[in-house]
Structure 1
Amino acid sequence: MASTQKNLSQHSEKNIQDISGKKFALIVSEWNEEVTESLFQGAMETLLKNGAIKGNIIRKNVPGSFELTLGAQWMAQEEEIDAVICLGCVIQGETKHFDFICDAVANGITNVGIKYNKPVIFGVLTPDNQKQALDRAGGKHGNKGDEAAITAVKMLGF
């Protein structure tokens, strides 16, 4: 979690293995595109910096964060995919819609990982407003995309 004490882009180097032979799927929500594109760039840069081969990284777009779960399932069922990274942003609104979407996405992504026994990473921002989202998508709190990518790398080294 990003805070004034912890930057999303900082991480320990423990449990990082050679990922040059690993294949990653990045599922990116088109909703809140300014934020999700930055999350994607952060994840991509982190994977490449840690040894992933660009040709082994597949990007798939989905309309919104709710659809990340099904997109993740479609990619996780592919045997050659080693890890799936889901990137999205759901900003708090005036209705309970936020709560329903966030709960469904978190549970859905968790269940896909369990079902396919591979890392399926929750890289979804759930801020109160656009400023908080941008602060966590390459702003003053780092980039949740970096954190999601390094989480996938570390889980592959588990």
Structure 2
Amino acid sequence: MKIAIVISEFNNDISQNLLNGAFLRFKNNFLKNEKIKFEYEKDYYGRGDTSLTIFRVPGAFEIPAAVSQILKNNSIYDAIVTLGCVIKGKTAHFEFISNSVTNSISQISIHKKTNIPIILGVLTTFDYEQALKRSNPKDKDKGGEVMQAAVDTIKTFNKIKK
């Protein structure tokens, strides 16, 4: 399986946690016997038909555009996982960004030319502590959960295509 991750670097410590959880789940599913460790700066893990490629964008708002570009220019991926975090502040910015990202990813994923799963892993939380807890691979592990959702949905899509 070849999976792309598009990750926001805003709220970077939360994003790092999400990416670490996603990487660990990917490794446990496909690269158990490989002696590789997660390194945040690294953009590629894997070998042959099993790989994880990471694309970084500045913020959550840029995630849908990057997903669109991957779909237009690359047909090698079995799924795209999106990771990031939007934390509520004192302005309406949270609602605009959260709604825009969620709606855009949803629209991209159901577009008739999209033949692969697009998994939404952008946390929308009320505060930093909630984001930290949900992103921590040793706690809620939302990064691991969305990676597992990608793996499971790839299997479902493959079954449908048969």
Do the structures match in fold with TM over 0.5? yes
| CA drift at 1:141 | 4.0
Superimposed CA distance per residue, residues 85-128 of structure 1 (whole angstroms, 9 cap, x where no aligned partner): 00000000111110010011001111222221311111011111
| CA drift at 1:139 | 6.3
Asked if 1:95 is matched to 2:91, the reply is yes
Q: Which residue in 2 is equivalent to 1:44?
A: 23
Q: Is the 8 A contact 1:76 1:112 kept in 2?
A: no
Q: What TM-score, normalized by structure 2, do the two folds share?
A: 0.80
Unaligned runs of 5+ in 2: 32-44, 157-162
The counterpart of 1:111, out of the listed 98, 107, 110, is 107
Distance in structure 1 (CA, Å) of the matches to 2:108 and 2:132? 28
Counterpart AA for 1:132: Q
Counterpart AA for 1:105: V
Q: Which residue in 1 is equivalent to 2:81?
A: 85
The change in CA–CA distance for 1:92 and 1:140 in structure 2 (over 3 A counts) is: farther
Q: What TM-score, normalized by structure 1, do the two folds share?
A: 0.82
Segments of 4+ moved more than 3 angstroms: none
Distance in structure 1 (CA, Å) of the matches to 2:58 and 2:110? 24
Q: Secondary structure at the match of 1:134?
A: helix
Q: Is the 8 A contact 2:20 2:143 kept in 1?
A: yes
Distance in structure 1 (CA, Å) of the matches to 2:28 and 2:139? 20
What CA RMSD, in Å, does the superposition of the two structures yield over aligned residues? Answer: 1.5
Unaligned runs of 5+ in 1: 1-21
Q: What is the total number of aligned residue pairs between the two structures? A: 137
Asked if 1:59 is matched to 2:57, the reply is no
